[in-house]
Amino acid sequence: MQIYDVFTQQKRLLAWLIDPDKFDGSTLKIAERNKQKIDFIFLGSSLLFSKEIPSLIIEIKKHLEKPIILFPGSYFQIYDNADAILFLSLLSGRNPEYLVSQQVVAAPMIAQTSLEVLSCSYILIEGGRVTSVSYLTQTLPIPSDKIDLIVATALAGKYFGHKLIYLEAGSGAIHPISSKTISAVAEATKLPIIVGGGIRSFKAIQQAYDAGATCVVVGNIIEENPNFFDEIQK
């Protein structure tokens, strides 16, 4: 089964975003202990990856046996031994570098790999603080109370032919994406919705699912609280 089919046929998927710049052996032990609770590994960083990423992917697969989806911050971050790549267009911003320029450079490189390509509208929404992605892309997130604008942006992505919508509050966001926003985008687009940023509790995960999220992404909370998955289980 293709990874995209999992997004369309299953609800309540959980992805763990691993930042290679922060990855160490203890992170891998946490992942291995909780692999039954994880559906995907998102591998991504706002900064450049190191040359060690291909071997890191091998190590993660050896211990987790979960699909690894690249979540690239630039065209440098393409690795053939992952399983898929989010082909992102930052629709919430107006910086052409991240709307299309990076994608044009990346396209022929991706064509030389066996990666499954997941076309995705990447929509950054204000989460209470300036995030790395907003700073590095020099783009402003959409204000969280402008739900009509968020929906319009997501619909534009749908009509461009994107197959996934990623609603992102940003790493370390104070406030996660609201249930009203998730519900509005899910209802308008009828596409699988990925939600990430500021998710720090089981309640926040549950609220995102109940609002219509297909996949919830957690990241920083695992580094801050290694027992987070145990708390979810309880």
- Work out the percent of the chain whose per-residue pLDDT is above 90: 68
State the Cα–Cα distance between residues 99 and 88, nearest whole angstrom: 8
Mean pLDDT, the chain, whole residue set: 91
Above 80 in pLDDT, residue 21?
Answer: no
Q: Once rounded to an integer, what is the mean pLDDT over residues 112-124?
A: 98
- Work out the percent of the chain whose per-residue pLDDT is above 70: 95
Above 70 in pLDDT, residue 233?
Answer: no
pLDDT attached to residue 210: 97
pLDDT band at 172 (very low <50, low <70, confident <90, very high): confident
165: Cβ contacts below 8 Å, ≥ 6 apart = 120, 121, 123, 154, 157, 158, 185, 189, 191, 192, 193, 194
Let me know: does 183 contact 152? Beta carbons within 8 Å: no
User: Averaging pLDDT over each range in 65-74, 124-133, 143-152, 195-204, which range is the top one?
Assistant: 143-152
Q: Write the single-letter amino acid at 18.
A: I
pLDDT attached to residue 50: 63
* 6 vs 45, residue with greater confidence: 6
Q: Once rounded to an integer, what is the mean pLDDT over residues 3-32?
A: 85
Above 90 in pLDDT, residue 23?
Answer: no
Q: Please give the CATH architecture assigned to the domain spanning 12-233.
A: Alpha-Beta Barrel (3.20)
Q: Describe the chain by its helix, strand, coil percentages, rounded to 5.
A: 45, 20, 40
pLDDT attached to residue 49: 60
pLDDT attached to residue 176: 96
* 108 vs 36, residue with greater confidence: 108
Residue of 140, 152, 144 whose CA lies nearest to 174: 144
pLDDT band at 81 (very low <50, low <70, confident <90, very high): very high
pLDDT attached to residue 232: 64
The predicted model scores a pTM of 0.95
Above 80 in pLDDT, residue 40?
Answer: yes
pLDDT attached to residue 48: 62
State the Cα–Cα distance between residues 208 and 213, nearest whole angstrom: 5
